[in-house]
Amino acid sequence: MKKSLIALAVAGVVSAPAFAATANVDVYGRMHIAIEDTDASGVDMDVKTNASRIGFKGAEDLGGGLKAIWQIEQQFDATSSNDTAFGGSGLRNTFVGLSGGFGTVVIGRHDTPYKLSTTKYNVFADTIADYAATRLDGVALITGHSRASNAIAYISPNMGGLSFSGAVVTSMDQLDDGKTVDAISLAGGYANGPLTVDMAWEDIDAANRRAWKLGAGYSFGAAKLGAVYENVDINLGNDRDSLFLVGSFSMGAIVLKGQYGKVDYDHATVGAGKDQNAWALGADYNLSKRSTLFVVFGNGDNDSGDDISGWNLGMTHNF
């Protein structure tokens, strides 16, 4: 009996470092699954896993206010016919970095500052009416939603409401163009009380694409309004202009939402005749701080003759 107790005690001592090594790991994620139907030709009602993901992240205190940080995040598809662990879905923000009073520096795979600058105005994110989605008539209202591999990014601390971020994306021999940097992305923002203002610019050399956008939002008690204007210079000479308007109103556990967007091309061969108008209406019902039921209905039409309506009915759970 004494030998058994000693053996258990020794086993506990030996295994303790392994548990201690993972004590700073947070497991988090999001389930986002919905029923979807559109009147597009050849499309039947289906169940969609809308950017569901699981992640692991942590931080180590290095002293003097400096921390080492890391994150691994993987998207999965619970409705895929592929029976692999993650349904063939993609790797999301995965990086290592340092954080302190100077801000945060990360290297790895990360959303660009251009993308992140206006996501706060995307009230139907990851649904059929996501402002960067093409599920309603094939045209995104707002572009540049890139998650860049080989990114080196900096995020400033909040300075009296002001903040900025920047990233360069290196080629790492992925493109045979002899260039070290293939993309630059910059963003700045101001948030003070009910007002937010955001501006971003990016240059993707490999795609001959330059873009900038300006977003603004204001809260009136339970009501919130927002707008985003974007200009994209495609192939350095052909413009694509977008205007996006959004609003929401909270009534206890219920949040009513709506948006309208318009896309104009100044060159027919670039837009392929796809000047677009799109709108969406929806509502969230917050079951708790982590679980939400939602419904979305949207319509998109363009100059190519596409006119598609569709809806989502689903649930999200954050953990």
187 neighbors 165 (Cβ within 8 angstroms) = yes
Superfamily for domain range 28-318: Porin (2.40.160.10)
18-40 residue pLDDT tens: 444 556 899 999 999 999 999 98
How is residue 127 annotated by DSSP?
S
pLDDT of the residue at 146: 85
- Using the predicted structure, report yes or no on whether residue 201 has a pLDDT greater than 70: yes
pLDDT band at 88 (very low <50, low <70, confident <90, very high): low
CA separation for the pair 30, 21 (Å, rounded): 25
Handedness of CA 32, 33, 34, 36 (dihedral sign): positive
**Residues facing residue 109 across a β-bridge:** 94
Residue 14 has pLDDT above 70, yes or no: no
d(CA 6, CA 285): 55
Do residues 195 and 225 make contact, with C-beta atoms less than 8 angstroms apart? Answer: no
Share of the chain above pLDDT 70, in %: 84
State if pTM tops 0.75. Answer: yes
DSSP state of 126: T
What are the boundaries of each domain within the chain?
A: 28-318
pLDDT tens figures, 155-182? 999 999 999 999 999 864 454 555 667 8
Name the band, by pLDDT with cuts 50, 70 and 90, for residue 68. very high
Q: What pLDDT sits at residue 209? A: 85
Q: What is the average pLDDT score of the chain? A: 87
- pLDDT tens digits along 293-317: 999 999 999 887 788 999 999 999 9
Q: Please say if the pLDDT value at position 5 is more than 50.
A: no
Over residues 74-88, mean pLDDT:
74
Instruction: Decide the pairing of beta strands 238-251 and 223-234.
Output: antiparallel
Instruction: Tell me the three state secondary structure of residue 287.
Output: coil
